[in-house]
Every structure is written in C-alpha cells, then in structure tokens.
Amino acid sequence: MKIEHLTDREISWLSFDQRVLELAEDSTVPLLERLRFLAISSSNLDEFFMVRVATLMSKIENDVTAANVAGYKPKELLALISTKVNELVSRQSKTLHDEILPELKKHGIEFVKWEQLDETESAYVAKLFQDRIFPVLTPLAVDPTHPFPYISGLSLNLAVMVKNPATQEEFFARVKVPEILPRFIATAKFGSTRFLPLEDLIAIHLQELFPGMAIEDHYTFRVTRNQDIELDEDEAEDLLLSLEQELLRRRFGPPVRLEIEAGVDDARVSKLGSELGIGVENIFHVNAPLNLTSLHKIADLDFSELKYPPFRSRTAKALSEVDSEDSDLFFAAIRQGEILLHHPYESFTSSVVHFLENAAKDPQVLAIKQTLYRTSGDSPIIEALIEAAEAGKQVVAVIEIRARFDEQNNVRWARKLEAAGVHVVYGLMGLKTHAKLSLVVRDEPQGIRRYCHIGTGNYNPKTARMYEDLGMLSADVELTEDLTRLFNQLSGFGPQSTYSRLLVAPRTLRSGLTERIDREIDHAKSGRPAGIQFKLNSILDEGFVAKLYKASQAGVKIELLIRGICAVQPGIKGISENIVVKSVLGRFLEHSRIYHFINGGDDEYWIGSADLMGRNLDRRVESLVMVQRKEHHVRLQSLLDLGLSEETSSWQLSETTWSRPNKKGLTNIHAELIDHYSKDR
C-alpha cells in the first residue's frame, strides 16, 4: 500500500551518496580528502547496485508489478535510478578531471598517459611490464571454440578487438586487469608521484598479448553482479556450511550493471551488453578511469598538508589514571560508576580492547560472553577470546556470519575460535545478531560480579578510528543481569526474557519506542514539556514515519540527525512542519544512535545498535540501553545540540530536497569535538 509523504529507500540512498560526493566537490576540504570522498562515493554506488538494484531487478525478473510503499513500480523505480546514477557519475567525472586532478598536479601528484612519459620513465615502466605484469596476464579470446568468458564482479577489464590479417575476421578478447597489482603505477622506482594507470600500460603492450593479430580497438569496462545472499535457514542443517556454499555461489551472481568507457561505438556497447545480459538502463558510460574506489591508494600518499590535521584519540578520563595492565585497577575503575565512551575521540583500544584483554588474562575472570558482527583482520579482540579459552575460562562468542560482505571473514573467525575451544554460536534462527555486547563474569572477594560493555559500533579497532560511536562500560547489577538474560537467549532458549534497562528487538524495541513517542504526544496535548531528538544512521520504517508525523501534528517538536537514508519528509504543512531533519558528514562516519525523549521534563536518553528500519526492528537482535547518569545526559545533549545547531555545517532536508547552507564560518563538528576532547583532560 502506498504511504503518503514517504521517500523511497533507493532514492534516499542516492541522495546520501550525493552528499558524500558534495564533500569531494567542496574546495574547503583538504585535497587528498576530497579524493578519498570521491572514492567513497564510488564504493557506495558499487554496494547500491550489488544489493539494492540487484533486489529490484529480481522483482522485475519475477514479474512483480505492484507499487512499493513509496508508490513506485519496479520498472519506474529502475528508470529513475538510472537517471540519477548517470547524474552522479557525470558529477564524479567532472570533479575528478576538472577540479581535483589539476590541483593535485600543482602539488606534484600527476596522472599521466604513456605519451607523456619521458625516456627514463618509459624505459622503467616498460621493464616493469615485462618483469612483473606480462607474466600475470591471461588474454581470453571469443571465437567458435572459446565461449564468452566469465567476467568477475567489480573487476576492471580491457575489451580488445583484434583482426586476423589473413582472413580479415574480427574477434573480441578480454584481458582482466589484475587486482593483485597496483592500479596506478609509479613511473620511477623511488619517490615518484607521477602515476600511469595499469590498464593504460597493458593497452600499450596489447600487441605482445596477441602476436600476429591486428589490434583494431580497445576500451575498459567493469561489471557489477548481484552479491546478496539468499540463505534458507529453515532448510540449513549446518548454518556455517550452508553459508560457505552460498558464498561460492555468490561469485556467479547475475550482472546488474555495466560500466563502459565513454566514447565506445554504440554497436560494441550493445554487443557487450547482450553478451552479459544487461539492459540499456543498467549500462553507464564513464570517462576513464573506471573504478574510482582505487583512488584510496592515492589518497593514502604522505602529503600531510593535503590531509586533515593529525589526530590522536585520548584515553577516557575515568581510565586515564589506570594502569591498563592491572586488571584489578581496570575493573575497579568501572565499579566507580558507568563510563560513557565516545569514539574515535576517546580511544577504543584503551577502553574496549583493554577491557577484554584484561578479562582474558585475569585469573579471577570465570567467563566472557561476546557478540561479533564485524571485526578487523588482525583483531586483538579475537586473540583475547582465544587466550581466555586456552586459559580455561568459559568463553561464548555469538558471531553473525551473515554480516553482509564480511561473511567470509566471520566464517574464518568462527572456525579459528572453535578450534581454540570457544563456544561459537550463531544467534537465533531467522534473526541477525547486530547488538554490540560484551559481558565478563568475575569472582571477587564479595562474590560473583559482572561487568559489561554495550555500544553502538562494531568490535573493530580499525574502523573505530574512523567511525563516530558511543559505548558504555558498566558494573551495574541491573544492566549486567539484563545482558546475562540476553546472552542466554542468544545461546540457548529464552524468548520470554524481560529486561530492566534494555529495549531488545524484535520483542520490545518497536513497542518500547512507539510507547515513548505516544507519551510525548500525550505530554504535548497536556501542555507539558515534549520533544523528540534522534541521531541515527537511517530512518525508513513506515510505521515510525507515520508515528512521527502524528507527533508533529500534535505539536511535538522533532529533531532528527540522520546520516544516511531518510524516508521522512519534513516541513509539509499540516503533516510535518514540526519536524527538522539534518545530516552531518565529514572526517568521521557518524555511526552512533541516540534516542532522546523530553518526557515532560524527566528526560530519557537511550543509545544502542538499532536504526529505525524494518530489518533492525523486526529481523535482527538489537539493543538500546537507557543512560542513567545525569552527567552522561549532559554529554549526549551537547552532541545533539552541536549536530542540530544552525551554526554547524550540515545538510538540511526540506520535504525531499537536501541542501547545504552556503554560509561562511560554520562549525565543523569533527574539528570542534577534536578540539574539545584535546582540552578536556
């Protein structure tokens, strides 16, 4: 059923990617950071096609014609997506070629073509080709004895048209640009910041790959494939094994996008699209170079003057005087009172990682229970769990092996943890475990004491340096009892568990938040203080959009800080004129979730892992924790006030249009918080 004033998910996703692209277009952002935002916007589009467009195309293939809740039929939506993506791709290209590359050249960073190399450079890269690149290449011809080759997803390829001089027959051949080699080749062995794209170097030497054939034409292209996983858990006797098999199948998902170098003859484009089974609406003509995600490597160059100023996380004040190697002192600090953490401004390593490392080595610790959704490749958290298990402690790891695009990593971690004696479980049937929880059970002179961490972000020390997240270390009896019940539910049975300080999806999160919005409506109607402030990654659930409209109509002031997808349309007279929506993007990825209800003056603040999306509310295990300490309320409110302030640089949504005020002197939220935390010692 169509819902009035609901922005479509896919259109909102593309609006988010446009905001990221606008950071690349912003001349006030350091130059290499602009290049990085360009790479991020390209990566976002890759994921958009691999998951969202893939799902949409599946509906079309299955002859689904009904309109979605936002009123779009699948084919209508696909056509609109094609138009908007073409606009974004055009802006990406213009930003790169007209703005960023000329500025980089002024600083000695240059992308060059073969004919621009001097004699020394051309000799160097030619030898490099012969020694290290040519042996890796595999030309694949298409003729009656060689079928059209399989094109792996997101690989960069050279399409080559060759002609047999003897018979004048023309053939198609494909040369994959090896992903294992650097995408941009430095033109000298040491210190060069002049780069030749690898595909250009290969193209210059195509004759060596096809000796005796005439090279008629060549161009680059790239295919995106459906990367979504369909796992029937009801039929899966072994979830881990079934997922491993599904990951193998995912490599061969159907194509959903063809990117092809601009200027290629229409007949060649049509022929390639036909071979791949991709319709014209999913073919995008792109100015070279394709695959801007590779620009991350250039953005990593050591040019400090072209990047954000250096920044180092500080240790949370409550832990700053604690010897991180002394587990007694570390746990004593938590017993002094709950510790609110704000990453990356406050160090994830000196708080969360040390929490688990101390638990692993502390002889008084009897058990550790941990959820893992995404973690880093060399995770100290995994090593701590293994160390604890090998020391004889009871260790339970709830690993979400279905975390999108991290499935393979999580399968590997699951196998490694099981081999070390960790009890690995995969959560509840049909539900992804997205909650960020850690529980430590310690035997102390006064008896058993439990400690916990609950947060908004993944247990990943690497992304914790770039993602803005909140967390809490606690020894509160009520909260640790809640986590004990929740872990028991995840590892065993306990669907009717009740909680004191937690709202847990899928049982109580939706109803708990709905009740609190209704309570604000009652407060507003009775003339009591009322208001709602949410800081989220996304709001999409149509039930909550409708509920917020109802609250707005009752006079409740609603302020939303939304990083990504937003289905709400604020500022509609009689519907949502009391709703303000802003979005903050920049140096750090805003990832924390805060729910604030004014509640007649008795303010409630909640933090946790859940956004207002159907998957978070109904198809995942999620948790929000009520924040109790007044000094923590003050900190959370200051974050909300800063993000929502008219003096902070942000985007504002008016109905369906995002705009960024062109006003000088606005506060950069990340620079402001870096400065704040550097002084607050």
CATH number of the domain that residue 261 is part of: 3.30.1840.10
Distance CA 354, CA 206 (A): 54
The band of 248, judged by pLDDT with boundaries at 50, 70 and 90, is low
- Check whether residue 361 and residue 231 sit in a common domain: no
- Check whether residue 126 and residue 209 sit in a common domain: yes
Instruction: Name, in order, each residue with C-beta under 8 angstroms of 241's C-beta and a sequence gap of 6 or more.
Output: none
Does the pLDDT value for residue 252 go beyond 80?
A: no
Query: For the segment 622-633, what is each residue's pLDDT rounded down to a tens digit?
Result: 999 999 999 999
Average of per-residue pLDDT across 352-377: 91
- Of 275, 306, 337, the position where a domain reaches its end is 306
- Check whether residue 166 and residue 94 sit in a common domain: yes
Does the pLDDT value for residue 48 go beyond 50?
A: yes
Distance CA 96, CA 290 (A): 12
Answer whether residue 485 is part of any domain: yes
- What percentage of residues in the chain have a pLDDT greater than 70? 93
* 343 in active site: no
- Of 498, 529, 544, the position where a domain reaches its end is 498
Query: For the segment 337-356, what is each residue's pLDDT rounded down to a tens digit?
Result: 999 999 999 999 999 999 99
Q: Please, how many CA atoms are within 13 Å of residue 583, restricted to the half-sphere of its CB?
A: 30
pLDDT, residue 305, reads: 96
- Check whether residue 31 and residue 57 sit in a common domain: yes
Q: DSSP H helical segments within 492-530, as ranges?
A: 509-525
In Å, the largest CA–CA distance within the chain is: 92
3-state secondary structure 186-201: ECCCCCCCEEEEHHHH
Distance CA 81, CA 227 (A): 18
pLDDT, residue 234, reads: 41
Answer whether residue 4 is part of any domain: no
Name residue 535's beta-bridge partners.
561, 594
pLDDT, residue 241, reads: 59
Does the pLDDT value for residue 187 go beyond 70?
A: yes
- Check whether residue 487 and residue 511 sit in a common domain: no
pLDDT, residue 494, reads: 57
Distance CA 407, CA 114 (A): 40
- What percentage of residues in the chain have a pLDDT greater than 90? 79
pLDDT, residue 242, reads: 52
Answer whether residue 2 is part of any domain: no
Q: DSSP H helical segments within 363-454, as ranges?
A: 380-390, 407-419
Angle at 670 between CA 664 and CA 673, to 5 degrees: 110
Average of per-residue pLDDT across 517-544: 97
CA terminus-to-terminus distance, the chain:
54
CATH at 333: 3.30.870.10
- The residue that leads in pLDDT, 240 or 539, is 539
- Check whether residue 262 and residue 323 sit in a common domain: no
Query: For the segment 435-480, what is each residue's pLDDT rounded down to a tens digit?
Result: 999 999 999 999 999 999 999 999 999 999 999 999 999 999 999 9
Answer whether residue 595 is part of any domain: yes
Distance CA 680, CA 7 (A): 41
Query: For the segment 317-340, what is each residue's pLDDT rounded down to a tens digit?
Result: 999 998 878 999 999 999 999 999
Query: For the segment 636-666, what is each residue's pLDDT rounded down to a tens digit?
Result: 999 999 999 999 999 999 999 999 988 888 9
Provide the b/e sequence for 627-663 (b: ≥16 CB within 10 Å): bbeeebbeebeebbebbbeeebbbbbbeebebebeee
Query: 31-47 vs 74-94: helix axis angle to the nearest 10?
Result: 160
The band of 251, judged by pLDDT with boundaries at 50, 70 and 90, is low
- Check whether residue 175 and residue 250 sit in a common domain: yes
pLDDT, residue 257, reads: 95
Answer whether residue 311 is part of any domain: no
Please list the helix, strand and coil fractions of the chain in percent, rounded to the nearest 5, in that order.
40, 25, 35
- Check whether residue 398 and residue 338 sit in a common domain: yes
Does the pLDDT value for residue 244 go beyond 80?
A: no
Average of per-residue pLDDT across 165-173: 90
- Check whether residue 293 and residue 330 sit in a common domain: no
- Check whether residue 482 and residue 391 sit in a common domain: yes
Instruction: Name, in order, each residue with C-beta under 8 angstroms of 401's C-beta and a sequence gap of 6 or more.
Output: 239, 240, 243, 407, 410, 411, 414, 426
How many domains, the chain? 3
Instruction: Name, in order, each residue with C-beta under 8 angstroms of 623's C-beta and a sequence gap of 6 or more.
Output: 435, 436, 437, 454, 486, 502, 503, 504, 505, 509, 608, 609, 610
- The residue that leads in pLDDT, 600 or 232, is 600
Distance CA 372, CA 422 (A): 13
DSSP 462: T
pLDDT, residue 236, reads: 41
Answer whether residue 212 is part of any domain: yes
Distance CA 197, CA 375 (A): 32
DSSP 314: B
Does the pLDDT value for residue 296 go beyond 50?
A: yes
Q: Among 109-118, 394-403, 495-504, 534-543, whose mean pLDDT is lowest?
A: 394-403
Q: What is the DSSP string of 207-267?
A: HHHSTTSEEEEEEEEEEEE-------TTT-SSHHHHHHHHHHHHTTPPEEEEEEETT--HH
**Is residue 428 within 8 Å of 489, Cβ to Cβ?**
yes
Tokens of 356: 């688990």
Answer whether residue 3 is part of any domain: no
Does the pLDDT value for residue 493 go beyond 80?
A: no
The band of 232, judged by pLDDT with boundaries at 50, 70 and 90, is very low
- Check whether residue 165 and residue 73 sit in a common domain: yes
Angle at 458 between CA 369 and CA 595, to 5 degrees: 100
The band of 40, judged by pLDDT with boundaries at 50, 70 and 90, is very high
Cis preceding linkage at 380, omega within 30: no
Q: What stretch of H or E contains 474?
A: strand 467-474
Does the pLDDT value for residue 303 go beyond 60?
A: yes
Q: DSSP H helical segments within 26-118, as ranges?
A: 31-47, 54-61, 74-94, 101-106
Three-state secondary-structure class, residue 595: strand
pLDDT, residue 411, reads: 75
What distances in angstroms separate CA 408 from CA 361, 413, 421, 462, one per listed residue? 29, 9, 20, 18
The residue annotated as part of the active site, out of 343, 434, 596, 670, is 434
Whole-number average pLDDT of the chain? 91
Phi, psi (5° rounding) for residue 660?
Answer: -120, 120
Q: What is the DSSP string of 618-667?
A: HSEEEEEEEE--HHHHHHHHHHHHHHH-TTB--EEEETTEEE----TT-B
Distance CA 643, CA 593 (A): 13
Answer whether residue 312 is part of any domain: no
For 270, the domain range is: 9-306
Does the pLDDT value for residue 235 go beyond 50?
A: no
Average of per-residue pLDDT across 251-265: 88
Q: Please, how many CA atoms are within 13 Å of residue 331, restricted to the half-sphere of its CB?
A: 23
- Check whether residue 333 and residue 383 sit in a common domain: yes
Q: Which amino acid is at 109?
A: I
pLDDT, residue 142, reads: 83
Does the pLDDT value for residue 530 go beyond 80?
A: yes
pLDDT, residue 46, reads: 94
- Of 483, 498, 513, the position where a domain reaches its end is 498
